[in-house]
Amino acid sequence: MRLRLVPENTSWDFFSRARMWLGISAVLVVVALGSFFLQGLNYGIDFRGGTTIRTESTQAIDVGAYRDALAALDLGDITIVEVNDPTFRADQNVAMIRIQAQDGQESVTSEVIDSARVALQAVSDDIKFVSVESVGPKVSGELIQTAAIAVVLAIGAVLFYIWLRFEWQFALGAVAALVHDVVLTIGVFSELQIRFDLAIIAALLTIVGYSLNDTVVVFDRVRENLIKYKSKDLKEVLNLSINETLSRTFMTSVTTLLALIALFVLGGDVIRGFVFAMIWGVVVGTYSSIFVASAILLRLGVKRDWSKPVDTTGNQFGDVDA
Amino acid sequence: MLQIDLWKRVLIWAVIVLGLLLAMPNAFYTRVETANDASAAIELGADTTENRDAAAEWPSFLPSGLVNLGLDLRGGAHLLAEVLVKDVYEARMEAFWPDVRDALRGERDKIGTIRWNSEAVKNGELRVRISKPEGMEHALEIVRGLARPVVSLTGAGATDLEVRGEGTEIVVTLSEAEQQATDERTLRQSLEIIRRRIDEVGTREPTIQRQGFDRILIQVPGLGSAQELKDIIGTTAQLTFQPVVSRASSADQAPGVGNEILPSLDEEGVFYILEQTPVVTGEELTNAQPSFDQNGRPAVSFTFNAAGARKFGDYTAENIGSPFAIVLDGEVISAPVIQSHIPGGSGIITGNFTVEESTNLAVLLRAGALPAGLEFLEERTIGPELGQDSIDAGKIATIVAFVAVLVFMAASYGLFGIFANIALIINIGLIFGMLSMFGATLTLPGIAGIVLTVGMAVDANVLVFERIREELKTAKGPARAIELGYEKALSAIVDANITTFITAVILFVMGSGPVRGFAITLGLGILTSVFTAIFVTRLLIVMWFERRRPKKIEV
């Protein structure tokens, strides 16, 4: 007995509600963009400069006491978060403290870090500073720029590759799906105010890769079926292709998700945001390769017979016998 | 039908064996690491029985390359520093003033009195006011005559100064070609100095890299804090010029009162007895650069500031024919003989240098002090505990992810799933093999990349298996179905993986630090997973098929 995620020989109609799905996607994109522009992202220090200190102590963490100790130093905006994680030992109490970039200072000052250390040591005597990271505003500005360029470059490169291998309609469909995935992922980070740092950019680019992976597999089948069934309607060909690849689409998504969920639960809090972005991306990417990429391909239409030059102009029955 | 040539089979197995062999040391990480450290120590001369025993822990005929652990996994300090290259312009212009003064002094009747505007030097300009503006052309000509050709590959033919008149002021700046050459030199000197300082501390595998144009990335694993690293870099190495009393052949000789005995930097067994009080120190040196002597042989020219120039001039005038030593951190770099009186604070060191040696010496000469200030843009300290926690969590997560995928594949595809699983295990081995071979660095996101690969690596197999299922429906017999399955799935596999690979490459090029670590494992993972899916799984299936010759298969 084999495990089957999808029944054999499905012939579901994915386009009967195409408008609805595109509508839902459009709404989600608008919400994501709205959140991005209204409340922005919870940027980590990589992108806005400042200092994060990760502390560890065997004593329970009193966030209020930490805050009072640091407030006396007049360091501007300070966030203190207690971190809980199933991978921690029983007496492992972890806090993340973020101090904003100090005004008028291009580089990082160790005085700030040292004064914070001393102040915290007064509160909790066995406190350990397991990581201290500072990024100056100069670098953080550049990092965000490089990151944006990387995402745009990746999308551009992929657009070009698919255009080369398929047709421009396919490329547009794939890239629409990509942009959809990236926007929704950035959106969820904005909506839930999850910390957005350099690693998330890596996750975003992986989502770009993964989403494409999915879309390309469907498109590859579409290309094959378009040649095989020359007289079939584009909609039918798309439906057939999606149904034929459905089993694979689910298998791959599930294996990837299995691996990612293991990492999400057991991988520790340091990379949890990163893994969350990937999980979200895999789910959205799978959805979009069917409901966005293919739906857009259907709207754009495809020049059917690209293997030969069009020599049937003026003869409307030119390829009836094909 | 289903056939794979013998040479292909041998090649595939060879790649697998090689990959796994390269990956193997990582399974015995601590043991191999101690053995490697001991071997390195023996090579450096610490040939003790203790080290020999430690080195013998790991047989030398086995590969011993290990995956480097990134700072986030091992703990340590990270600094990104920007070199303030413009500092050097200021020093150069300041040191140039005496030359200009001396040159113009003799022309007072034409240009009047001269006055230095010492404020302007902060902008890298030398501004000199003359009281007779009508003599400007003449003055400019004289100052231009002081310019020297630029010594660099790109700036060949250009001179190092740009001289123009602004009203009653002569304005001298470094020419663009010279600025570029100077910046390049400043960066090289800074890198060299930082490297020397960190090497002295003797930590394992520090990374000291130039980043972009004027930045230096420094990562030292195992260091307590970034502050500690800053202190190490900030310590000034001592450069001195000392009179030589005599040469000696051992360090035990008595140097005499007021003298000291120091070893030579590159000649073993050669020692010099020097007067303890230096004539000048490196703090008074404003520039040192590779150049050529009058016979066209590589040499190093150097310039002192005003105070240094006077002391050096007086000393050389009195000691023509006797050697003096250039000493860096208690070692004699070289001990040239003074050929003539050296006024004006600039001189040239000749010797049997190659161009490369003269370049290195120029770098070393300035290695006494950092040539320009450093601004720290980024600093990170990661404690070893956090790194260990991350490794532990990553290990467990990887194992669980791995087992989940293995079970799932076997449940979905039966025997074929098991073939895919064997390929997956080989796949992970190959990733580690390649990481070790390239000496790549594994970071926490890198582990995530491997876990992601575990999930995605089966994709190529899934594509093939699903295709075989489809082909079986059209009933052409199992052998044909398998063959067609591979043939038809190939284009999807290739397209899908190339697109992902493109993003991995972009990540690698644009990213830094941990992100780059992720890009490496993702990219390698794609390569190995395509290899295992197309070749390894196929080989396994073909071997099984040849042995069993089933009439019917179920995928």
A118 touches B: beta carbon within 8 Å: no
Tell me what pLDDT residue B343 has. Answer: 78
Tell me what pLDDT residue A319 has. Answer: 46
pLDDT tens by residue, B140-184: 888 888 888 876 656 567 788 888 888 888 888 888 888 888 888
- Per DSSP, B210 falls in state E
pLDDT tens by residue, A42-69: 888 888 888 888 998 888 888 888 888 8
Tell me what pLDDT residue B196 has. Answer: 75
A161/B389 CB distance under 8 A: no
Q: What token pair was written down for B310?
A: 């006077």
Residue B113, CA distances (Å) to B125, B134, B167 in order: 20, 13, 15
ipTM above 0.85, yes or no: no
CATH 1.20.1640.10-classified regions of chain A: 18-42+140-300
Name the minimum distance, in Å, from the CA of A317 to any CA of chain B.
Answer: 31
Dihedral, CA of residue B483, residue B486, residue B489 and residue B493, to nearest 10: -170
B515/A199 CB distance under 8 A: yes
Q: Which residue has the tokens 């052949």?
A: B249
- Closest CB from B72, B397, B510 relative to A266: B397
Would you tell me which residues 460-479 of chain B have a C-beta closer than 8 angstroms to some C-beta of chain A? 462-463, 466, 469-470
Tell me what pLDDT residue B365 has. Answer: 66
Tell me what pLDDT residue B156 has. Answer: 63
Which residues in B lie closer than 8 A to residue A270 (C-beta atoms)? 72, 386, 390, 444
**Cα(A159)–Cα(B346) distance, rounded to whole angstroms?**
60
- Closest CB from B80, B404, B456 relative to A262: B404
A209/B230 CB distance under 8 A: no
A–B CB contacts, 8 A cutoff, strictly below: 238
Q: Which helix (H) or strand (E) holds A97?
A: strand A93-99
Q: Which residue has the tokens 């003096």?
A: B324
- Test mutation, B503, B507, B518, chain A, max A CBs within 10 A: B503
B373 touches A: beta carbon within 8 Å: no
Which residues in A lie closer than 8 A to residue B231 (C-beta atoms)? none
CATH 3.30.70.380-classified regions of chain A: 50-135
Would you tell me which residues 36-75 of chain A have a C-beta closer than 8 angstroms to some C-beta of chain B? 54, 56
- Residues B24-46 have a mean pLDDT of 83
- Residues B16-28 have a mean pLDDT of 90
Nearest CA in chain A to B497: A213
Closest by alpha carbon to B187, among B161, B211, B158? B211
- Closest CB from B492, B502, B510 relative to A161: B502
Name the minimum distance, in Å, from the CA of A9 to any CA of chain B.
Answer: 9
Nearest CA in chain B to A266: B397
CATH of A50-135, one of 3.40.50.1000, 3.30.420.40, 3.40.50.150, 3.30.70.380: 3.30.70.380
- Residues B469-498 have a mean pLDDT of 86
CATH number of A18-42+140-300: 1.20.1640.10
φ, ψ of residue B29 in degrees (nearest 5): -55, -55
A186 touches B: beta carbon within 8 Å: no
Which residues in A lie closer than 8 A to residue B230 (C-beta atoms)? 110
The pTM for the full model equals 0.75
Kindly indicate the confidence band of residue B395, based on its pLDDT and cuts at 50, 70 and 90.
confident
In terms of C-beta density within 10 A (0-12 exposed, 13-18 middle, 19 or more buried), how is residue B173 classed? buried
**Cα(A93)–Cα(A57) distance, rounded to whole angstroms?**
5
Tell me what pLDDT residue A309 has. Answer: 47
Which of A117-121, B96-100, B219-223, B493-497 is the least confident region? B96-100
Provide, rounded to the nearest whole percent, the portion of chain A with pLDDT above 90: 17
Kindly indicate the confidence band of residue B363, based on its pLDDT and cuts at 50, 70 and 90.
low
φ, ψ of residue A53 in degrees (nearest 5): -125, 130
Whole-number average pLDDT of chain A: 84
Q: Which residue has the tokens 């500092």?
A: B87
**Cα(B19)–Cα(B42) distance, rounded to whole angstroms?**
28
Kindly indicate the confidence band of residue B513, based on its pLDDT and cuts at 50, 70 and 90.
low
Nearest CA in chain A to B392: A267
pLDDT tens by residue, A283-313: 999 999 888 988 888 888 887 655 554 444 4
Which of A14-28, A58-72, A186-200, B368-382 is the least confident region? B368-382
- Test mutation, B219, B506, B521, B554, chain A, max A CBs within 10 A: B506
Which residues in B lie closer than 8 A to residue A150 (C-beta atoms)? 506-507, 510-511
B503/A209 CB distance under 8 A: yes
Residue B84 has pLDDT above 60, yes or no: yes
- Residues B420-449 have a mean pLDDT of 88
- Closest CB from B386, B409, B510 relative to A146: B510
